[in-house]
Amino acid sequence: FQFDVTTDGRPIKIVSIVDEHTRECLGGMVERSITGEHLIAELDRLAVERGCYPTVLRCDNGPELACGAMADWAAGQVGLHFIPPGEPWRNGYIESFNSRIRDECLNINSFWSLAQARVVISDWKHDYNHH
């Protein structure tokens, strides 16, 4: 997860879902807040779009991921691999990806609205995947 704000000071929460093998940014969300249920809906949408669920989902210990709803969703279909707290190097690729989106997109844009942030971040992810 990453955080930013719109010019009126309201928070933006950003989640990116990246395939560690292909390095493709498959999807994500840009919202004011994101719950475990919102994240599950996005993962289900991606599974339908791609034709399968991931074998393993590597994630941090944020409340959206380390919740009962996520455990119930993953049971029997997706292995959850939690990164130990305070050890971001265990998730090196996504840390690098997050640094890149911060440097190349978030730090150089001011967002007037949530809708604008969604468009700009989506465009950046498209460029990331295709260049």
Break the chain into its structural domains and give their ranges. 2-130
Residues 29, 15 contacting (CB under 8 angstroms): yes
Q: What is the pLDDT, as a whole number, of residue 65?
A: 86
As a CATH number, domain 2-130 is 3.30.420.10
Residues 128, 16 contacting (CB under 8 angstroms): no
Residues 90, 84 contacting (CB under 8 angstroms): yes
1 Cβ partners below 8 Å, 6+ apart?
13, 14, 15, 34, 60, 62, 64
pTM of the model as a whole: 0.90
Q: What is the pLDDT, as a whole number, of residue 70?
A: 93
Low-confidence ranges of the chain (pLDDT < 50): none
Instruction: Give pLDDT tens digits for 17-47.
Output: 999 999 999 999 999 999 999 999 999 999 9
